Amino acid sequence: MTAGESYLIKQISVFSENRPGRLAAIAAALKEEEINILAFSIAEADGFGVVRALVDKPDKAYAKLSARGFNVAFTDVIAVQMRDEPGGLFEVATLLGTAGINIEYAYAYHSRDAAVLIIRVDRAADAAKVIKEMGGKLLSTITIQ
């Protein structure tokens, strides 16, 4: 096991039609199982979208949503901790740029003591390693899930 692996976080990605109530249906299913949604983002095309969510119990969420008939996939993402002050985002962006890591998409959430940027990159394990080496702060899998 390499050092980067414990920083890979399982995001659930759910296919959804752009119809009223689909997001609510996903949220309701997760709530029934007492699964917390830490962060989510929605990407849309015309007619459909993908709901990406970071939850505290991803396996349980996967099982529940699949049972409800949703199409669900796991995606490895990494969570970079930002200084919760102006310039925090810039720092992270600079770090990733220097490391040559290409961001496919990102979204953020606030934990109790920091702002967290969820990023989806190619070869997440390698990216996590590079970020750690360059002094970036990553949230480990254990702290979230």
Partner 1 sequence: MQCWDPRMEFLPREDLERLQYRLLKLLVCRLYHFSPFYHHRMESARVHPDDINTLDDVNKLPFMYKSDLRDSYPDGIFTATTEDLVRYHVSSGTTGKPTVVGYTAADLHNWTDSLARGLSSCGLGRGDVVQVCYGYGLFTGGLGLHYGAERIGAAVIPASVGNTERQVEMMQDLKATAIACTPSYLLHIGEVAERMGISIKNDTSLRVGILGAEPWSERMRTRVQDWLGIKAYDIYGTSELSGPMFSECSAQEGFHVWGDLALVEVLDRESGEPLGPGEEGEMVVTMLQKEALPMIRYRIGDITSMETDVCPCGRTHPRVRRVTGRVDDMLIIRGINVFPSQVEYTLMTIPEVGRHFQIVVDRKGSLDDMLVRVEVSPEGISDRIQDLIKVRNTVEQKLKNTLNVTVEVELVEPGSLPRFEGKSKRVIDRRNL
Note whether 5 binds partner 1 by CB under 8 A: no
| Residue in 5, 48, 90, 94 binding partner 1, rule: CB under 8 A | 48
Q: Which residues contact 48 (CB under 8 A, 6 or more apart)?
A: 15, 16, 17, 18
Estimate the crossing angle of helix 22-32 against helix 58-67, to 10 degrees. 120
Q: Which is nearer to partner 1, 71 or 94 (CB)?
A: 71
11: how many CB neighbours lie within 10 A of its CB? 23
| Residue in 20, 47, 86, 135 binding partner 1, rule: CB under 8 A | 47
| Residue in 65, 72, 121, 124 binding partner 1, rule: CB under 8 A | 72
| Residue in 5, 32, 44, 59 binding partner 1, rule: CB under 8 A | 44
- Minimum Å gap between C-beta 118 and partner 1 is 11
Q: Which is nearer to partner 1, 15 or 90 (CB)?
A: 15
The binding site for partner 1 (CB under 8 A) comprises 11, 13, 15-17, 22, 43-45, 47-50, 52, 67, 69-73, 75, 104-105, 120
